[in-house]
Amino acid sequence: MSKLFYDHLVNIEEIIIVLSEYDISEDDRQQILSTIDETIHHHVLDIIFTHLPREHHEEFLEKLAAQPHHPSLMEFIQQRTDWNIAQEIRNSLQQFLKELIQDIHQSHHDENQ
């Protein structure tokens, strides 16, 4: 999982703890975490492109491709939108991760019935 400019807004520790409660091989755990990481990335990009005016999309993508970890990307977005984009990302990801944890528990519950 590579370092990205929005990593400080994401906390998957609870997911890691929940996964550790179940008998999952290390390979499967890594695959699950990789899938979660990819899903989070797509989710964040969706939020950004929803709020960032279209005329800035290409420039944002160029900056993201060049330096995906650089904190100035958040500043770039924030300067071009009226939304508190960091808060939007944080709130949306908290809800997404909460639902994901519920799904993990439900999936395990369904397997045991």
| pLDDT tens-digit readout, 4-58 | 999 999 999 999 999 999 988 999 999 999 999 999 999 999 999 999 999 999 9
Structural domain range at position 58: 7-111
pLDDT of res. 105: 87
CB atoms within 10 A of CB 96: 16
pLDDT of res. 35: 94
* Within a domain: 47: yes
> Percent of the chain scored above 90 by pLDDT?
84
- pTM (2 decimals)? 0.88
Question: For the chain, how many structural domains are there in total?
Answer: 1
* Within a domain: 1: no
